[in-house]
Amino acid sequence: MLQALVVIALAYSLTFLIINVLPGDPISNMLLDPENGFSPEDVAPIIAYYGLDKPVLEQLWRALSRFVVGDLGISLRSNLPVSDLVSAALPSTLLLASAALAVALVLAFAIAFASQNLPPKYGQGLVRLLPAASLSIPGFIIGIFLIQVFAFQFGLFRITDANSLAATAFAALALGVPVSAQIAEVLIANLDHEAKQDYFFVAQSRGLTRVELFTRHQFRPSSLPVVTMIALAIGELLGGSLITEAVFGRSGIGSLVQGAVATQDYPVIQAVVSLAAVVFVAVNLVADLVYPLLDPRLRKRGSKADAAAVTGSQR
């Protein structure tokens, strides 16, 4: 928990310092630019709020103090609290990312199961090519293909209603397919390793069905690296949602970031980067806590290094 808090604080501080070491103060430069239409009466309270007339370290301390209590600042463009803008955009992105993760897990599990139980000569070889093929196709290409075929030709969803259930499902498919390939590749490699162990041959000799062998004796010991991949995939899903939201015309964190970059709304950019750091650290913290539940050997030793050692040995 302590390490998680330190990582979040460092991510926030690093983003803040990167923005502030640009030539001049970017916020002040934008406020004082006559083309942006800010009057001196508008500029004065903003400079006072952010402490732009103070040293950088004092500005950072003020920003961190506000961040701890959930104050993400004021948008320079809309003059609204950044927390309100993020709160309005976050549900759509979380829904898309959650649906994409579900798609990725189902596809990865199906591919991994098929790779172990289909006829070796034809089925397994064909199935094992799917992850590499999926990884070689960018997500936005998959999205455009789905829109062309299922929206324009078959009319299963309307691109003008991007938040409908059908449109969300196809957007989740476009976002989840590349992620499923990464999870499937790791899972297949570990399943192959477990299938060569002595205990697996003993289980086979007991006459268990293929499903029982897979679920009870292959999948669980192979799941530690998969948990790590899922934790990394969640961060990738949140980042990849920017492109997918643009392709499908959805409003979410991606469109919020795109607008903030285009208009140089630095408080919004700072807030989104900080939010991404919080989500990424929280998900990896949960993954660390799940390891001992999946592998009893870690309950006694309980070290992340031990988890990494066990994961490495399984790979």
Per-residue CA distances from 190 to 41, 49, 178, 223 (Å): 63, 54, 19, 8
Per-residue CA distances from 200 to 205, 221, 276 (Å): 9, 11, 41
Residues 222/193, Cβ–Cβ less than 8 Å: yes
Please tell me the pTM assigned to this model: 0.78
Distance between CA atoms of residues 212 and 187, nearest Å: 17
pLDDT in tens, the chain (315 residues): 888 888 888 888 888 887 766 555 566 666 666 666 677 777 777 777 777 777 878 888 888 888 888 888 888 778 788 889 999 988 988 899 999 999 999 999 999 888 888 887 666 778 888 888 888 888 889 999 999 999 999 988 888 888 889 999 999 999 999 899 989 988 888 888 888 888 888 888 888 778 888 877 788 778 888 888 888 888 778 776 788 888 898 888 888 888 888 877 888 888 888 888 888 888 888 888 888 887 776 766 544 555 455 445 444
pLDDT of the residue at 63: 84
- Which residue ranges form the domains of the chain, and what is each CATH number? 2-68 (no CATH), 89-314 (1.10.3720.10)
Distance of CA 6 to the CA centre of its chain: 20
pLDDT of the residue at 254: 82
Residues 310/298, Cβ–Cβ less than 8 Å: yes
